[in-house]
Amino acid sequence: TVRSMEDILTRVVVPLPTYETREKSPPPPESNSVEFMHFYRSLEKEEKSQLLATLSQDFGVDHKGVSELAGKLLDTQLRDLATILQVEDRLRYSLTPRYKQLLNHISRVEGGVKFLVDLRADLLEIISSKGSDSPHIRDLNGTLKGLLSEWFSVGLLRLERITWQSPCEILQKISQYEAVHPVRNWTDIKRRVGPYRRCYAFTHAAMPGEPLVVLHVALTEDISDNIQVRAVMKKLATLDLEEDVNKVNTAVFYSISSTQAGLQGVELGNVLIKRVVRELQSEFPHMSQFSSLSPIPGFSSWLQGLLSQHRKEGRMELLTDHEWREVADVTNTTPDTNALDALRKLISTGEWTRSERLVHVLEPALMRLCAWYLYGEKRRGYTLNPVANFHLQNGATMWRLNWHADTSPRGVANSCGIMVNYRYFLQETPSNSAAYMHNKVITVTEQVLGLVSQFQKNSKL
């Protein structure tokens, strides 16, 4: 009940020591943290969010104390610098939320860091589900994210290469965490850690045996434009060893997955990609090309939404007259909203891929629509597509759209089979990243821009 929650918190979340005793007061007994962890774990979901609301609300910053010190700081503006710095330091200390100590103490007990990663996952779920933007919960999330970013900084992470000789429990975790191309069986995972492949994960001493983020790489002679046949998924290097490594000059990142929801925002994926690039450069000194081969989750549903909106408005400009006539011809409809309805149905079932003629006529249309989806569709100024946003934040270039790149049912359903290469030009990533993050500038190639301008010419959007 709330009463007992308040009691437990009052006892476990020790008050912030006074400024004078802040470095002298001994930490509470470890049993405090262990008790809190057990108690929290015993709660139902709803009770957990209640506890977190209480913790963030009643055990945060002493706002009254802060405002008094802020007033005091104003009064000392004319005093000597030493006095001002002294009062600033008091003010800084007074802004420490009481619960921050609890988080620090928990991080020092066995399994405490993992507990806090999972607790942040609960916080993120509350923030995204409740929608109620409780400022206290956001403060708690911010404080915890700050601590996690320190504890999981690149210097404290360990890069591990996963091979067929890695322990089964790691290979099993890698398989279950795979979020981009689901692993079907042992043969699948064996291939992905086998010849002409590299699989790397970051681990952390505080969470032994837990791959925090996993990156799968294919070693090729050129930048793959297809996830199935070429180089990436199917190239069966018959021999168990990498025969002609000196032909390898390209690394294709074809899957990256973070495994801890609570580490969202800690940017582990970006750090891992950069770390793996350095690792590969030392193993293959003449490796010169680094690129992703990325899915485009959300394109098909975005397109369906656009088609149904245009259906309502009776607008036919998404395809050219010629394209509509072709669609109408193949579907035995008339080149008007009937053809539009037929097209929506074909795309939702993936049926369009069975007709050579449709594939041929839809290629230019779907490619320019996809280019616009990736480049033109925004959310708060950044790309709507999360995978594009991730790579562009890292400073990659939106390099090439690939038709018929993922012909699996999943690939056709998610993005009409189109995939995209986000290419890492190593010298340019820092400036590209800054341009994207600060000015929302997307670094693209002529191929992509050409497709975008075809869309704009057609659609006057």
Of 208-227, binders to ligand 0OR (CB under 6 A) are 213
Burial readout 141-155 (b: 16 or more C-beta within 10 A, e: otherwise): bebbbebbeebbeee
Alpha carbon 226 to chain centroid distance? 23
- Residue closest to ligand 0OR, measured at CB: 269
Tokens matching residue 343: 């097209």
- Least distance to ligand 0OR from the beta carbon of 273, Å? 8
Burial readout 219-228 (b: 16 or more C-beta within 10 A, e: otherwise): bbeebbbbbe
- Mind giving me the DSSP string for 205-247? TTSTT--SEEEEEEEESS--S-SSSSTTSS---SSSS-TTGGG
Distances (CA, A) of 176 to 46, 284, 295, 304, 387: 28, 30, 19, 31, 20
Residue with tokens 């006057």: 460
Q: Phi/psi at 422 (nearest 5 deg)?
A: -100, 115
Q: Does 32 bind ligand 0OR (CB under 6 A)?
A: no
**Residue 2 burial (CB count, 10 A):** 10
Closest to ligand 0OR by CB, 63 vs 161, is 161
Q: Does 148 bind ligand 0OR (CB under 6 A)?
A: no
Q: Active-site residues: which are they? A: 294, 391
Of 229-258, binders to ligand 0OR (CB under 6 A) are 256-258
Handedness of CA 320, 325, 330, 332 (dihedral sign): positive
Closest to ligand 0OR by CB, 270 vs 458, is 270
Q: Which stretch binds ligand 0OR (CB under 6 A): 98-106, 233-241, 260-268, 365-373?
A: 260-268
- Least distance to ligand 0OR from the beta carbon of 414, Å? 11
- Least distance to ligand 0OR from the beta carbon of 261, Å? 9
To the nearest 10 degrees (0 to 180), the angle between helices 2-12 and 30-42 is 160
Distance CA(426)–CA(443), nearest Å, equals 13
Q: Does 390 bind ligand 0OR (CB under 6 A)?
A: yes
Closest to ligand 0OR by CB, 79 vs 158, is 158
For residue 59, give the nearest of 5, 109, 21 by alpha carbon.
5
Closest to ligand 0OR by CB, 15 vs 265, is 265
Q: Does 201 bind ligand 0OR (CB under 6 A)?
A: no
Longest distance between any two alpha carbons in the chain, whole Å: 87
Q: Does 137 bind ligand 0OR (CB under 6 A)?
A: no
- Least distance to ligand 0OR from the beta carbon of 266, Å? 5
- Least distance to ligand 0OR from the beta carbon of 242, Å? 26
Closest to ligand 0OR by CB, 16 vs 268, is 268
Closest to ligand 0OR by CB, 273 vs 367, is 273
First to last CA, the chain: 55
- Least distance to ligand 0OR from the beta carbon of 248, Å? 24
Contact pick of 15, 182, 265, 305 for ligand 0OR (by CB under 6 A): 265
Q: Does 180 bind ligand 0OR (CB under 6 A)?
A: yes
Q: Which stretch binds ligand 0OR (CB under 6 A): 265-273, 307-315, 339-347, 372-380?
A: 265-273
Give residues in contact with ligand 0OR (CB under 6 A).
179-180, 213, 256-258, 264-270, 387, 390
